[in-house]
């Protein structure tokens, strides 16, 4: 049946994840679960997303992006890497010395586990009036330990513990603590548990003052079910679990970052870090706008307001200096548009019977009006379109009812074939008047 031939690509150079790191066995519960409420969303656009830009955001763009995230409802925002640049440090100081941060919004700042950089980070948040999280990270996977850091497991653990002690010494009770074992998904699970046990004990993790343990798929390396197993293993085995907020930070190297995040939430994750529309290194961080609207499409309140998605897109494109693809889920210019005749016919019939109850229009997973879109661009006509779509455009735009849809569709087909162009509503009306000599 399958006549494909071996490719010339050197696939033998690579190993699957099971050959790279132990994937601990787990008593899976996640396949039978459903997501019934939104996790805590934490946008990292101002740090992780910003460091992936060819032109990092200037202070005005960072402020505009921050104000957008506050306005649409994010309550925990990672705002920068203050020890990495003066721009980041100054932006955090702006937040600390102004009234830009509402009292119910938690600010997160990012630092490596290095004493000098930790000191600079703590300095940046001095005087911040609301809740603050200091997010410390260290790469823990074997390749990073051996090639990049050149430290043994014990040596790296000692470095991490020294960093955690320094944060506690300098910041004390004024902040909460977060730790990310970078490249968690390629790190030995027993090593991560060892680190988590030490840090949650040292930082005195309790339900009243929880520690955030963030488990990144820094380089997406396996099918999403494997990541879900890795998250559920930690969920089931973490010491002081009731004092830990289990967080995930998937990237999108395999194109399945969203699936990884959704399965991770099923597996016990309570918090998801990512970027609005998915900007980030290489193929990007997980897209937390798509994740939220996926919940909306399943009848679950995403707890973030995307009712003006084009306004949000405009700000994100301005701040990042990057366009959003027209096929990007929910926000792309064409995602609620049908050109195919069979799709157009189904959508037209769906609109004809759609009432005020549950949304049940074929090919439209959500009502475009939910995110501030109109219906005028839902059906557009080109050479792939059919009589139903042509009739829908003329009726919805001009109130013009065709007496013979099939006959006029043949004229439109000839016109689009000859011109190679999309037929706009005005094109269709002009052609109708040309063919029939009237407009009604």
Give the pLDDT of residue 340. Answer: 81
Give the pLDDT of residue 439. Answer: 54
Radius of gyration of the chain, Cα coordinates, nearest whole angstrom: 26
Confidence of residue 440 (pLDDT cuts 50, 70, 90): low
Longest dimension (CA), the chain: 85
SS3 of 140, please? coil
Residue-wise pLDDT tens digits, 40-89? 999 999 999 999 999 999 999 999 999 999 999 999 999 999 999 999 99
Percent residues over pLDDT 70 in the chain: 99
Q: In the predicted model, what is the mean pLDDT of residues 117-126?
A: 97
Residue-wise pLDDT tens digits, 410-426? 888 888 888 888 888 88
Q: Which of 140, 199, 197 is nearest to 167 (CA)?
A: 199
Distance separating alpha carbons of residues 315 and 65, to the nearest angstrom: 7
Confidence of residue 394 (pLDDT cuts 50, 70, 90): confident
Q: What is the dihedral of CA 207, 211, 216, 222, to 10 degrees?
A: -40
Residue-wise pLDDT tens digits, 227-281? 999 999 999 999 999 999 999 999 999 999 999 999 999 999 999 999 999 999 9
What pTM does this model have? Answer: 0.92
Q: Which of 76, 133, 134, 136 is nearest to 101 (CA)?
A: 76
Give the pLDDT of residue 27. Answer: 95
Give the pLDDT of residue 408. Answer: 85
Give the pLDDT of residue 260. Answer: 98
Do strands 211-217 and 271-274 pair parallel, antiparallel, or not at all (unpaired)?
unpaired
Residue 291 has pLDDT above 80, yes or no: yes
Residue-wise pLDDT tens digits, 134-179? 999 999 999 999 999 999 999 999 999 999 999 999 998 899 999 9
Q: Could you tell me how many residues make up the chain?
A: 440
Check if the beta carbon of residue 289 is closer than 8 Å to that of residue 359: no
């Amino acid at each position: 049946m399958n006549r494909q031939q071996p490719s010339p690509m050197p696939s033998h150079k690579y190993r699957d994840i099971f050959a790279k790191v132990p994937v601990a066995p787990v008593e899976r519960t996640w396949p039978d679960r459903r997501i019934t409420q939104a996790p805590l969303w934490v946008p990292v656009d101002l740090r992780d997303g910003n460091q992936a830009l060819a032109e990092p955001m200037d202070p005005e763009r960072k402020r505009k992006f921050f104000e957008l995230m506050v306005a649409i409802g994010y309550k925990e925002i990672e705002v920068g890497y203050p020890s990495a640049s003066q721009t980041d440090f100054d932006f955090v100081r702006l937040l600390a010395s102004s009234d830009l941060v509402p009292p119910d919004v938690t600010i997160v700042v990012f630092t490596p586990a290095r004493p000098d950089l930790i000191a600079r980070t703590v300095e940046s948040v001095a005087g911040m009036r609301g809740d603050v999280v200091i997010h410390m990270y260290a790469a823990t996977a074997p390749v990073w330990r051996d090639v990049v850091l050149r430290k043994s497991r014990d040596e790296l653990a000692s470095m991490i513990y020294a960093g955690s002690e320094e944060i506690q010494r300098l910041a004390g009770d004024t902040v909460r603590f977060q730790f990310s074992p970078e490249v968690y998904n390629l790190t030995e699970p027993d090593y991560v548990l060892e680190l988590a046990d030490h840090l949650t004990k040292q930082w005195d993790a309790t339900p009243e003052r929880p520690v955030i343990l963030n488990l990144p798929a820094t380089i997406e390396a396996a099918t999403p079910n494997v990541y879900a197993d890795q998250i559920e293993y930690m969920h089931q085995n973490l010491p002081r679990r009731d004092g830990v907020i289990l967080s995930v930070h998937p990237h999108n190297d395999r194109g399945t970052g969203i699936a990884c995040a959704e399965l991770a939430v099923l597996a016990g994750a309570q918090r998801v870090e990512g970027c609005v529309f998915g900007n980030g290194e290489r193929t990007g961080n997980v897209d937390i706008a798509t994740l939220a609207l996926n919940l909306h499409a399943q009848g679950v309140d995403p707890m973030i307001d995307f009712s003006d998605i084009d306004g949000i897109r405009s700000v994100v494109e301005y701040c990042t200096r990057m366009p959003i693809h027209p096929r990007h889920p929910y926000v792309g210019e064409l995602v609620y548009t049908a050109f195919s005749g069979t799709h157009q016919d189904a959508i037209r019939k769906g609109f004809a019977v759609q009432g005020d109850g549950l949304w049940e229009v074929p090919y439209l997973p959500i009502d475009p009006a939910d995110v501030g879109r109109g219906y005028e661009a839902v059906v557009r006509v080109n050479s792939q379109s059919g009589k139903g779509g042509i009739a829908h455009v003329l009726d919805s735009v001009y109130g013009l009812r065709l007496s013979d849809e099939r006959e006029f569709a043949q004229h439109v087909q000839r016109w689009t074939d000859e011109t190679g162009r999309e037929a706009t509503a005005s094109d269709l009306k002009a052609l109708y008047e040309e063919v029939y000599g009237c407009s009604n």
